[in-house]
């Protein structure tokens, strides 16, 4: 044991840099609205992250607006914006009112030659100039050598050494394509400690292409890295980033390292991101998955009842959940037609939903209507209804509104759908045929709305929420536009065709809102 201890340099505290709204939003199909981003920033502050990377302003007007509005919230958390080394991009980031600018430029020979078309010298000069520029404007600066783990080690040491001299207080080491291993990343971290000042923070940023994102981050911390980049639920580009909840709980429970995270808020934050991103948490996901604290084997279950430590490394209350239950804190509240606003609110809060007063009213109406029809409203019904309402774009952004839907289907007849739909100021009435009722409705919508013509349905999922013929149908759709951008949307209704059509409309409203706000300026960042 002491042999191991002498080889590692564990810090006492580690800072958590959250990039859910920047790298996390680069998950295919995920785009948060400005309001959603403000809600996420507030929740991350409640969670206690040290830095929130709110986005990269040059990406789009909507992204820029979200960063400005988050900065205006004056939260107790440091707000950061990402920029390349281009001074105009940096000006835009500074103008958004953030506390920190995170600058990046690629340093691997592959990226410099094939992507940037720049020499090492040009990259070095550009990085130093950019860091100095931010520093002169009085902001904190963090520098990332993109694709660091595939860069020449001597060049990497040189560039990090120079940016530190130019004023970078934090140097971040991205494993951009997730191809390093814990031992290699630990070695790299150790090498970099030799070229930076003693008060420079070494930060790590990992991707999960080989399922090593968390292990790699921890390996770097073992060698003295004092800041970890992470995303809630591990969402992010390709296979995702290091998952915040896994990193934090490992640091605390396995290493005894302190963080500023209020762990009891982890579960609700995870649920919020699951709901807003539409990316479902796998049941076997560590810490926040449905099964993380469930015990199937009789021997385990019995032992846990006697002493949870027998088969649980941490107890669920540490992260704000109850053993084996999704509805963490108020599972005993039953919703139905007699439910009051107060208990509905408590129930929704326990799932981590963030909603407006209007949305609360709408959820209440839908529940009461179901109750009036004699239906027993289960927790799952409530979640489906809440997700349908909360995941819609705001009322002003709803360009398409479904007014009426008539579907004729049966044995030996061709399914026909007729929709009456508001398209902006206009109202349209169209009918079409299809191989089934949903297909017929989709075809009718394509006739009525030009935007539908540009979209294709890539995934359709129908879940019957509770058994029986009166079950609520919960539909999730994934549609793709002509630029291959994905949009995820949901809807719930006892009538499964109505739920399907509403989900499609919600998805297209998301796309139209995105096109209006997020007039893309750059296509991709890593
Ligand atoms: O993965 C990466 O290299 C990044 C940088 C922009 C930090 O996300
Ligand atoms: Zn990344």
pLDDT tens, position by position, for the chain (526 residues)? 567 777 888 999 999 999 999 999 998 888 888 989 999 999 999 999 999 999 999 998 889 999 999 999 999 999 999 999 999 999 999 999 999 999 999 999 999 999 999 999 999 999 999 999 999 999 999 999 999 999 999 999 999 999 999 999 999 999 999 999 999 999 999 999 988 878 999 999 999 999 999 999 999 999 999 999 999 999 999 999 999 999 999 999 999 999 999 999 999 999 999 989 989 999 999 999 988 888 767 677 778 778 888 888 999 999 998 765 443 334 456 677 777 788 788 888 878 788 888 899 999 988 888 877 777 778 888 888 998 898 888 877 888 889 999 999 888 889 999 999 988 888 989 899 999 888 898 888 888 887 777 788 888 888 877 656 667 888 888 888 888 888 888 888 888 888 998 998 888 888 888 877 765 555 444 4
Test site for ligand 1: of 51, 55, 110, 176, most ligand atoms within 8 A of the Cβ: 176
Ligand 1 center to 180 CA (angstroms):
14
Q: Indicate the CATH number for domain 2-277.
A: 3.20.20.70
Whole-prediction pTM value? 0.77
Query: Quick one: pLDDT at residue 328?
Result: 37
Could you tell me if the CB of 11 is within 6 A of ligand 1? no
Ligand 2 center to 207 CA (angstroms):
6
Test site for ligand 1: of 147, 205, 206, 217, most ligand atoms within 8 A of the Cβ: 205
Contact predicate 311/78, CB 8 Å: no
Query: Hey, where are the domains in the chain?
Result: 2-277, 289-323, 333-390, 395-515
Could you tell me if the CB of 526 is within 6 A of ligand 1? yes
Contact predicate 22/55, CB 8 Å: yes
Ligand 2 center to 234 CA (angstroms):
11
Residue 296 region by backbone torsions, left for phi larger than 0, else alpha for psi between -120 and 50, else beta: alpha
Angle formed by the axes of helices 357-372 and 379-390, nearest 10° = 140
Return d(Cα 374, Cα 336) in angstroms, integer. 10
Burial of 97 by CB count in 10 Å (0-12 exposed, 13-18 middle, 19+ buried)?
A: middle
Can you name the CATH fold of 395-515? Answer: Double Stranded RNA Binding Domain (3.30.160)
Ligand 1 center to 495 CA (angstroms):
44
Could you tell me if the CB of 146 is within 6 A of ligand 1? yes
Nearest CA to ligand 1 atom 2: 176
Query: Quick one: pLDDT at residue 11?
Result: 95
Ligand 1 center to 74 CA (angstroms):
26
Angle formed by the axes of helices 379-390 and 341-350, nearest 10° = 80
Query: Quick one: pLDDT at residue 368?
Result: 84
Burial of 370 by CB count in 10 Å (0-12 exposed, 13-18 middle, 19+ buried)?
A: buried
Query: Quick one: pLDDT at residue 338?
Result: 72
Query: Quick one: pLDDT at residue 523?
Result: 46
Test site for ligand 1: of 144, 168, 175, 177, most ligand atoms within 8 A of the Cβ: 144
**φ, ψ dihedrals at 507, nearest 5°:** -65, -45
Could you tell me if the CB of 144 is within 6 A of ligand 1? yes
Contact predicate 163/126, CB 8 Å: no
């Amino acid at each position: 044991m002491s042999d191991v201890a002498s080889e590692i340099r564990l810090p006492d505290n580690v800072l958590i840099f959250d990039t859910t709204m920047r790298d996390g939003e680069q998950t295919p199909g995920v785009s948060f609205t400005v309001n959603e981003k403000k809600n996420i920033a507030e929740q991350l502050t409640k969670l206690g992250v040290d830095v929130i990377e709110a986005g990269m302003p040059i990406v789009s007007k909507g992204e820029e607006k979200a960063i400005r509005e988050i900065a205006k919230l004056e939260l107790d958390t440091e707000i950061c914006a990402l920029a390349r080394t281009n001074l105009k991009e940096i000006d835009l980031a500074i103008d958004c009112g953030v506390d920190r600018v995170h600058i990046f430029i690629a340093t691997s020979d592959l990226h410099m030659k094939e992507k940037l078309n720049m020499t090492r010298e040009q990259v070095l000069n550009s990085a130093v100039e950019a860091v100095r520029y931010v520093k002169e404007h009085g902001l904190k600066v963090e520098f990332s050598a993109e694709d660091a783990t595939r860069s020449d080690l001597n060049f990497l040491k040189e560039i990090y050494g120079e940016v530190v001299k130019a004023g970078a207080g934090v140097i971040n080491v991205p494993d951009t394509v997730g191809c390093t291993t814990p031992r290699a990343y630990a070695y790299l971290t150790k090498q970099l400690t030799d070229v930076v000042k003693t008060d420079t923070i070494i930060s790590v940023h990992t991707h999960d292409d080989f399922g090593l994102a968390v292990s790699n981050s921890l390996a770097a911390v073992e060698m003295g890295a004092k800041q970890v980049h992470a995303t809630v639920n591990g969402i992010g580009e390709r296979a995702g980033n290091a998952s915040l909840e896994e990193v934090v709980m490992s640091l605390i429970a396995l290493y005894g390292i302190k963080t500023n995270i209020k762990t009891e808020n982890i579960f609700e934050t995870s649920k919020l991101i699951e709901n807003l991103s539409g990316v479902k948490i796998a049941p076997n996901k560590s810490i926040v998955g449905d099964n993380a604290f469930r015990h199937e084997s009789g021997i385990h279950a019995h032992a846990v009842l006697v002493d949870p430590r027998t088969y649980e490394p941490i107890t669920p209350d540490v992260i704000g959940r109850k053993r084996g239950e999704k509805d963490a804190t108020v599972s005993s509240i039953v919703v139905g037609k007699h439910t009051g606003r107060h208990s509905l609110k408590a129930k929704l809060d326990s799932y981590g939903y963030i909603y407006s007063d209007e949305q609360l009213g709408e959820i209440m109406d839908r529940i009461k209507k179901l109750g009036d029809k004699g239906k027993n409203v289960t927790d799952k019904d409530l979640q489906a209804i809440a997700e349908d309402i909360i995941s819609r774009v705001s009322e002003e952004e709803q360009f398409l509104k479904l007014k009426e839907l008539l579907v004729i289907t049966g044995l030996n007849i061709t399914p026909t759908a007729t929709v009456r739909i508001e398209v902006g100021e206009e109202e349209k009435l169209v009918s079409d045929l299809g191989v089934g009722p949903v297909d017929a409705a989709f075809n009718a919508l394509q006739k009525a709305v030009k935007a539908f013509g540009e979209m294709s349905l890539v995934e359709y999922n129908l879940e019957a929420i509770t058994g029986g013929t009166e079950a609520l149908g919960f539909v999730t759709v994934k549609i793709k536009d002509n630029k291959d951008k994905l949009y995820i949307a949901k809807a719930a209704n006892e009538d499964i065709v109505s739920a399907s059509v509403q989900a499609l409309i919600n998805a297209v409203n998301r796309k139209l809102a995105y096109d209006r706000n997020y007039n893309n300026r750059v296509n991709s960042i890593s």
